[in-house]
Structure 1
């Protein structure tokens, strides 16, 4: 076995057709990450759910900065309880054959680049399961700029880490013990976090309500559909406050007249300025088809 193996990463992410890092990890565009930071978790979750991705969300985390969301590209790590023969063989292989330095968790942090997020399965181990502390979070801060870590396990040095304000840690508990009696069996492999699954290169959206793992080949679609939902809500709230429409009008299939009202608002309102890359031809065509007696497409009120 090899750690961080390009052939394996490419094999498990066949639907990604865009740019990749040298190790084969999908590289979702910076602009998609930027746009992802302004949508809500539910807006991003809905398109995944509707496409059969049922196990992308996990809650039940503690955080260092309770009101801070992080978005970035996943670097995954899978740990198991220590078995001496396996542990010694893999530690020796990584240090001697692959030229890595230190312990398993240090290998992961040393591989990070800007906008990365460590996603580590430590089998919910907190005592001696502290993946990161003050030193490693300083390294994560320096390397990722605005990333962090999602750990199905523990962390330490919280009073030090609280002072690092550009990154965040989502974890299961705090303990002063250093990491011990664990062995990393995979790096940039499929990773289970609670009941969710994360692959290398997934877009990690870690929010105060939980963590969502977005497959890279769906990231742009998720952003577009989420932005459409978001800007329609802005319009809908405004028109409801004005008494122009009922909640049934806004929540149901929009009529052609309502779409025309929305599109006029969309072109002229300052509130829609950040959404001007969105196109609405399909939604308007579906509304016209419904009114002429045809069947609506997938778009509907919400995607």
Structure 2
């Protein structure tokens, strides 16, 4: 059994066509991560659900900094209850064949890069299932800068961990015991977190409501869709306050005239400045096609 193996990681993430880390993990661009921090969980959830990714969200966590949004690239690990023969074999393999130091959880944290988030299936173990404490929490902060951890299990040293301001941790429970009686059987492999599945390189979006795992090949689509929804809402609020349109018109499938009004506002309005990297050619073409085909009464959801 190989840990963190590039060929295996590439094999399970074939839809990602962009840059990768040396270990094969998809490297979603930093600009997409930056933009992801400004969208809501629901804005990320919608496109994933409609593309058939219906097991990407889990909300049953405690959160170290519940007011904070956390975004990063997933580094995954799978732990199982300890069985002596398997445990000694894998621990020895990691030490002797792969040159790893310390215990299984330290192996994962030693691999972290900037903007990473550790995603760990601890099979909901809290007693002797404390994946991190103050020391490893500090190590995560040092390596990831603004990342964190999603742990389907426990943590310890909460009073120390909460003092680490630049990361966030999602976890199931707390206990003073150290991690014990567990064995890692996968590193940067598919990982189950409650009802959700996470792959290495997924974009982790952690919010006060829970965590959603965005497949890397859909990350840009999710961000663009969210940003378009946001700026359309800003325009809609402006025109509603001005009394130009009714709520029914704003919530409808916009006709070409309304799209043209939006497009002119989008080009010049200060409120739209941060969204001007977006293109609306497809939407304008669709509106023109609908006008040519006749009136429509669809409602925008």
Please report the TM-score for the alignment, with normalisation by the length of structure 2.
0.97
**Alignment partners' CA distance in 2, 1:302 and 1:170:** 34
Alignment of 1:149-298 (within 5 A): 149-293=149-293
Alignment of 1:141-152 (within 5 A): 141-152=141-152
CA contact (8 A) 2:252 2:300 kept: no
1:82 aligns with 2:82: yes
Change (3 A) 1:91 1:36: same
Q: Which runs of 5+ in 1 are unaligned?
A: none
Q: CA RMSD in A?
A: 1.5
**Alignment partners' CA distance in 2, 1:172 and 1:233:** 36
Aligned to 2:43: 43
Aligned-residue offset at 1:240: 2.0
Change (3 A) 1:217 1:301: farther
Aligned-residue offset at 1:237: 1.9
**Alignment partners' CA distance in 1, 2:60 and 2:98:** 36
**Alignment partners' CA distance in 1, 2:14 and 2:283:** 30
Worse-superposed segment, 283-292 or 75-84: 283-292
Aligned-residue offset at 1:74: 0.3
Aligned-residue offset at 1:242: 2.5
Change (3 A) 1:155 1:138: same
Aligned length: 300
Worse-superposed segment, 242-251 or 116-125: 242-251
Aligned-residue offset at 1:271: 1.0
Could you report, residue by residue, the CA deviation over 1:239-259 in whole angstroms, capped at 9, with x for unpaired residues? 223322222211120011111
CA contact (8 A) 1:43 1:230 kept: no
**Alignment partners' CA distance in 1, 2:193 and 2:295:** 40
Change (3 A) 1:259 1:239: same
Change (3 A) 1:196 1:302: farther
CA contact (8 A) 1:235 1:262 kept: yes
**Alignment partners' CA distance in 2, 1:114 and 1:82:** 31
**Alignment partners' CA distance in 2, 1:142 and 1:58:** 26
CA contact (8 A) 1:65 1:162 kept: yes
- Name segments (4+ residues, structure 1) moved above 3 Å: 300-303
**Alignment partners' CA distance in 1, 2:47 and 2:295:** 21
**Alignment partners' CA distance in 1, 2:176 and 2:60:** 21
Aligned to 1:14: 14
Could you report, residue by residue, the CA deviation over 1:203-235 in whole angstroms, capped at 9, with x for unpaired residues? 000111110101111111111111101111111
Aligned-residue offset at 1:102: 0.6
Change (3 A) 1:92 1:39: same
